[in-house]
Amino acid sequence: MANSPVAILVIWIGPFPSSFDLWLLSIKNSPFDFIFVTDQKQPIECTQYKWLNSTLEELCALFSSTLGFQAALSFPYKLCDYRPLYGEAFSDILYNYDYWGYCDLDMVFGDCSSVLELVENKTITKIFQRGHLSLIKNDSNINSLYRKSNLIDYKYIYMNEKSCMFDEWHGIGKILKYEGYEVFHSEIMVDINPNSLYFKPSNINSFKHQLFIYNNGSIKHLYYKDGSLCKSEFLYIHFQKRKIDFSLVDTGINSYAFMPDKVIPFNESDFSSSDLLKINDRDYVHFINRLFERIKIKINPNLNKFDQYVMTIK
C-alpha cells in the first residue's frame, strides 16, 4: 500500500553525486514516496525507501520491451529521455499511486507539502514543466500519450543516442498541452544559473546581496532589498553543472548555506542584514571551465551530447 498519493522514481546508474547526503536529508520528511532503481548498494540511510537493483543493460531491455523496438541507451545521461516511459515501464510498482514523477539529484528539496493540494485537485495532468521535478497523473491513456501523439516523433528520440531533453517542458510537457491536458507550472523553485560566477538564480529575481539556505526542511532565499533583510521560501533549489564541495554536510546538522563552490553549516538565527552585505563569493574556476566547454562545442558541435530536435517543434 502506498504511503503517499505520489511516487517519485529515481533511476541512477553509477556512483551517487557528492550532493546525495544533503539530498537525502532534504527528503527525510517528504510527502512523496521515493523509489530507487539503481546499480548501487542500498545505504543504511535509505532503508525506508523502496530499492530496486538494475543495470543500464537491464533498463535498456525493459525500455525496449515497453517501446516494442531496440532502445538506444548506451550512456547513463540518456536515461532522462526515458522518464516519460516510467508510467508504462514501471506500471507494476506504480499502480497504487495517483501521480508518478521524476527528479534530479543535483538539487535539494524544501517543503513540498503544498504540492499535495495540486495532487488533490485531480484535474491537473502534469505538475511542473522541468526535468528537475515533474509529476504526471497515473492514467493508462496519459502514460502512453508520448507514443500516440503526432506532435513529436518518439521513435526518433528513442533510436538516438544523444539526449533530446524529452522529459522537459518542450518534450512530454509540450505533448500534453498540445493534446489539451491541463499542465500546471509556477516558478516556485530556484534554478541556479550554471554559467555564472555567482550562485545566482536564472528563473527568479536575483539581488546583489543574497544567500540561499537549506534550513530544517525548507529552502529559503535571503536577500537585501530597500535597506532590509528579506526572505522568500521555495519548493527546491537546483544547481546543475556545478562542482560543489559537500564535505561539510553532516547528518547531525540540519541547516546549510549554498556558496558558488561549497555548502557550509549555517545558523539562520544569528544571521543579520549586515552579514548578508559581506557575502560576495565567486567561483572563477567554474566560470572559466563552463566558458571553455561552450567554446569547444561551438568549434566542434559533435561534442554536444544534446539533440535540439524537440526544441524545433512549435
Domain-terminating residue out of 187, 214, 241: 187
* Structure confidence at residue 303 as a pLDDT band (50, 70, 90): low
pLDDT of 115: 95
- Shared domain for 170 and 263, answered yes or no, is no
Domain boundary among 166, 187, 208: 187
Instruction: Write out the E strands in the chain.
Output: 6-12, 33-38, 50-53, 99-103, 107-109, 126-130, 133-137, 183-184, 190-191, 210-215, 218-225, 228-234, 236-238, 255-258, 263-265
**Cell numbers at 260, concatenated:** 558558488
Query: Domain residues for 65?
Result: 6-187
Grid coordinates given for 69: 523496438
> Do 212 and 179 lie in a common domain?
no
Residue at 209 is within a domain: yes
Confirm whether 255 is domain-assigned: yes
Contact 290, 194 (CB under 8 A): yes
CATH number of the CATH domain containing 129: 3.90.550
Does any domain span residue 306?
Answer: no
High-pLDDT (> 70) share of the chain, %: 98
Same domain for 153 and 173, yes or no, is yes
Any domain includes 283: yes
pTM of the model: 0.92
CA atoms within 13 A on the CB side of 277: 8
CB–CB of 190/207 below 8 Å? no
Answer whether 29's CB lies under 8 Å from 111's CB: no
Question: Strand, helix or coil at 228?
Answer: strand
Domain termination residue (choose one: 187, 205, 222): 187
- Residues 153, 265, single domain; the answer is no
How many domains is the chain built from? 2
Confidence band of 182 (pLDDT split at 50, 70, 90): very high
Please provide the size of the chain in residues: 314
Q: Which residues contact 133 (CB under 8 A, 6 or more apart)?
A: 8, 101, 102, 103, 104, 107, 189, 235, 236
| Residue 195 shares a structural domain with residue 181 | no
In tens, the pLDDT along 203-262 reads 999 998 999 999 999 999 999 998 889 999 999 999 998 999 999 999 789 999 999 999
Q: pLDDT tens, 36-74?
A: 999 999 998 888 899 999 999 999 999 999 999 999 999
- Which pLDDT score, from 0 to 100, does residue 313 have? 74
Digit-coded pLDDT (tens) for 86-110 = 999 999 999 999 999 999 999 999 9
Q: Are residues 133 and 13 located together in one domain of the fold? A: yes
Q: What is the pLDDT of residues 267-288, one digit of tens each?
A: 988 887 777 777 767 777 777 8
The answer to whether position 298 is within a domain reads no
Query: Between residues 138 and 274, which one has the greater pLDDT?
Result: 138
Tell me: do 28 and 130 sit in the same domain.
yes
d(CA 294, CA 290): 6
- State the Rg of the chain over Cα: 20
* Lowest-confidence segment of 20-29, 35-44, 93-102, 290-299 by average pLDDT: 290-299
Q: Are 82 and 110 members of one domain?
A: yes
3-state secondary structure at position 31: coil
Residue type, 123: T
- Residues 80 and 41 reside in one and the same domain: yes
Q: Are both 25 and 154 inside the same structural domain?
A: yes
Position 91 scores a pLDDT of 98
Nearest to 25 by CA among 271, 265, 268: 265
303: in domain: no
104 and 223 housed in the same domain: no
Residues 97 and 198 in one domain: no
Q: What is the mean pLDDT of residues 141-151?
A: 95
Element (H, E) at 34: strand 33-38
Find residue 237's DSSP bridge partners: 108, 190
Do residues 82 and 73 touch, judged by C-beta distance below 8 A?
yes
Q: What is the pLDDT of residue 308?
A: 75
How far apart CA 46 and CA 24 sit, in angstroms, is 8
Helix (H) or strand (E) holding 79: none
In a domain, 44, yes or no: yes
Tell me, what DSSP letter sits at residue 180? T
